[in-house]
Amino acid sequence: MNDRLQNSMTAVSSPFKLSIRGLYKAYGDAVALERVTMDVLTGEFVTLLGPSGSGKSTLLQLICGLVPPSGGRLFIDGADRTQASAAERDIGVVFQNYALFPHLTVGENVAFPLRIRGLERSVILRRMEAALGMVGLTGYTERMPSELSGGQQQRVALARCLVYQPSLILMDESFSALDRNRRLVLQDEVRRIHRETGTTFIFVTHDQEEAMTMSDRICLMNRGRVEQFDTPRALYDTPRTVFAADFIGTSTILQGVVRPGGRLATPVGDLPLPDGSSVSAGTKGALVLRPEHLRLHTDDETGLRGVVEDVTFGGAEQRVRFRLGNDQKIVVQVPATLALSAGQAATVRWNAGDGHFIPDQEA
């Protein structure tokens, strides 16, 4: 019995498009990916996010079968595909460098996956034109890749992936070479295609704003392991580790020890813990405050005293870098109408219910 038939016979009904159990990768003594366990729902848009060297590209390569795992198992639609070749996994990949054939026209590039599958010419033509229409390139069939902008070439690469209708699409840093405006346009295009097709997407990026904008869930990675796998809102509002709090968005992180009575002793003073924090006295941890939690006052002596270091205008709001007496830096988001200048003394406050506390054992 061949492997494909055996895998299909052992498949079980599953709500997950992709299930990973203890997957890891080592190169000799160097571990590129710790044992990762995660599930991706059918039709979900999941982003692998993290700094360079965090393991996100290694995980993507293991998912699509470009490199073999050192251990663990991988299931697609309930079937064990751990040892399956890339061709047997029904996965489409959109690479960072587009990987278009320079000697073929746009239409020929998009049609290529169907040609090698031996489909009839009429079917190839119909699906090629539909794929180009989906990415907004109707009428570009006869153009050469060299005649296209970077954003247009990336759309051709996406159309070539969509044309053979894979059930899982992987995108590896696909927008990193584009300027901001083209990147934003393609983000919208991919989100629209995801909604319209219901295809499961796994997207790799190191850009947190891109991940927050596009994802149903984000798998935040650090040093070859998963720090937190959650919705963008949960990652922002309730990070489970100091790394997650520091990497997602802008945070003020105040380390301290919980005192009897529920206050946190820090180098800048005793601070209130967020409402609902059930933490015993003596617990070490970090209070995380986002810029929108904080209020800056120039005519009120209550609160933490400090000095304005820098003011950045951002339209309706301005971002203020504020330095406390012990050199602790705080970032505050305030209305653009508030007149501030570098060197100005002020105080900062926040509501007791704001912020998020991370005990050391979770950090």
pLDDT digits (tens, 9 = 90+) for 114-170: 999 999 999 999 999 999 998 889 999 999 999 998 888 988 998 999 898 898 999
Distance CA 106, CA 63 (A): 28
Distance CA 200, CA 193 (A): 11
pLDDT higher for 13 or 236?
236
Q: What is the pLDDT of residue 77?
A: 94
| Domains annotated on the chain, with CATH | 3-237 (3.40.50.300), 250-362 (2.40.50.140)
Residue 336 has pLDDT above 90, yes or no: no
Mean pLDDT, residues 11-39: 89
Residue 91 has pLDDT above 80, yes or no: yes
Paired with 37 in beta bridges are: none
Token pair listed for 53: 């060297």
Closest Cα to residue 361, out of 260, 284, 276, 288? 284
Q: What is the pLDDT of residue 276?
A: 66
Q: What is the pLDDT of residue 221?
A: 97
Mean pLDDT, residues 188-211: 91
Q: Which residues contact 91 (CB under 8 A, 6 or more apart)?
A: 63, 64, 65, 76, 166, 168, 169, 170
Q: How confident is the model at residue 191 (pLDDT cuts 50, 70, 90)?
A: very high
Cα atoms found within 13 Å of the Cα of residue 251, Cβ hemisphere only = 26
Distance CA 343, CA 54 (A): 39
Which of 31-35, 93-97, 162-166, 328-332 holds the top average pLDDT? 31-35
Q: Which amino acid is at 341?
A: S
Phi-psi region of 124 (alpha: psi -120 to 50; beta: other; left: phi over 0): alpha
pLDDT, averaged across the chain: 89
Residue 4 has pLDDT above 50, yes or no: no
Token pair listed for 249: 């968005």
Q: 116 and 129 in contact (C-beta within 8 Å)? A: no
Q: What is the pLDDT of residue 338?
A: 85
φ and ψ of 92, to 5 deg: -105, 140
| pLDDT tens, position by position, 317-334 | 899 999 998 888 999 998
Q: How confident is the model at residue 176 (pLDDT cuts 50, 70, 90)?
A: confident
Q: Which residues contact 335 (CB under 8 A, 6 or more apart)?
A: 316, 317, 318
Mean pLDDT, residues 214-218: 97
Cα 268 to Cα 172, 177, 256, 322, 324, distances in angstroms: 43, 43, 10, 13, 8
Which of 19-33, 165-179, 183-197 holds the top average pLDDT? 19-33
